[in-house]
Amino acid sequence: MIIPSTHDPDGSCRESAAEPSGTPRWCINRRGLGAIIAAGIAAPAVTRRAFANVTSDLEQAIGRYLALPGTPAFRLHVGANGKDLRLEHKASTPLFIVSAFKTFVLAQFLRDVEAARLSEDMQLTIDDGVRNIGSPVFIDLAGHTRAVSVLEAMMSHSDNMATDAAMLKVGANRVRALIAAANLPSVRIPDSTRILASYLFGAPYGVDIGWKGIQKVLEGHLPGTPRSPYNDKQTILANARDMVAWYEQVLAGTFFSDPATLIEFKRIHSTSVQIPRILPPGRVAYVKGGEANNLFGFFAKSMAGQMLINESTPVTFCFLVNWANPDGTGFTEVQAEFFAAITDILKGVRRLYSRDDIATE
């Protein structure tokens, strides 16, 4: 069962101070839909049956998501700052977000382009200095290419070499400064994806084992005792609350001076190859996800961003799940269920706000 959240006097959803343990929260704007549909509270008679059908499907989809192994967490807002609808579960729990952090790198790089510190046309180096696993675009390439192609590889295909090439230019600490400016206290990012891998594989703090070291790891020779992704040195952590807050701010243009920069940020964000896994063709969305497949028995999936419904209403979301399986199997099955549950949740939200499916006041 989903319990109701609280409302402001004007009927919009209010940020809750406390998060009931283990219970997802649901709040629908009274002015927007005419009722709170939760915990057996009925809608007006004219809408009761239609709302009940859709909200039942949505609750089932959420239940499907919460049945994922380990620690599933999410937050979803409809309308600016969730004024029309809030859904969440364990949204304050920091989890390993994997490549979802790359949205911050893209934003800071484009901010530096605005400031004429960098250029999307500048040549970035692709070689063993940034070579790393998890690089489907650049893994076998060497040379130079335009920065915009690097940014596109980072966001479309989550290429780690592209990420590190971009981070070398902007600097991890400047990305962290942007995160601090956005007031996202749960977010932690690494110095680079290869330094993160080096540390998790057992290298001393701050040591980059290089491409040769990564190759040795692939051959079964670790530089030390493997470490947990949950650490205070090199990690990628965030909670769903902060990731939703980030996308609500950045997609409103908060951190860009030139409207053209926001357009470019959206363009690159809209190219993720994982968007079709959760949305039908033609749906406008800006999304970044990530995964960890068997990091010494640790697994993770993440997906965060924003889509539009009714041409203008934003739906901002973050879905995170971390789990462990000592035998190192099961990722493909959990990933399929992760995408399927999110697909059904977003479909339910779209139906809730569609005049074709739901009678509204």
Nearest-angstrom CA–CA distance, 310 and 316: 14
Residues pairing with 123 in the sheet? 146
Q: pLDDT-derived band of residue 15, with 50, 70 and 90 as boundaries?
A: low
Stretch 351-360: mean pLDDT? 57
Classify the C-alpha dihedral 134-229-71-242 as positive or negative.
negative
174: its two tokens? 């400047």
The DSSP call for residue 275 is G
Nearest-angstrom CA–CA distance, 331 and 309: 31
**Tens digits of residue pLDDT in 54-78:** 678 888 999 999 999 999 999 999 9
Q: Nearest to residue 285, comparing CAs of 146, 167, 114, 155?
A: 155
- Look at phi and psi of residue 343 and say left if phi exceeds 0, alpha if psi is from -120 to 50, else beta: alpha
The DSSP call for residue 55 is H
**Domains within the chain, CATH numbers bracketed:** 3-16+24-189+236-352 (3.40.710.10)
**Tens digits of residue pLDDT in 183-210:** 999 999 999 999 999 999 999 999 999 9
Q: pLDDT-derived band of residue 27, with 50, 70 and 90 as boundaries?
A: low
Q: What pLDDT shows up at residue 355? A: 52
The DSSP call for residue 42 is P
Instruction: Please tell me the least confidently modeled range out of 15-19, 166-170, 315-319.
Output: 15-19
Task: Calculate the average pLDDT of the chain.
Answer: 88
Its pTM stands at 0.89
Q: How far, CA to CA in Å, does 83 sit from each of 13, 30, 76, 289?
A: 5, 10, 11, 25
Q: What pLDDT shows up at residue 128? A: 98
Residue 277 vs residue 6, higher pLDDT: 277
Contacts of 60 (CB under 8 A, 6+ apart): 344
Stretch 297-325: mean pLDDT? 95
- Look at phi and psi of residue 143 and say left if phi exceeds 0, alpha if psi is from -120 to 50, else beta: left
Q: What pLDDT shows up at residue 31? A: 41
Nearest-angstrom CA–CA distance, 251 and 249: 6
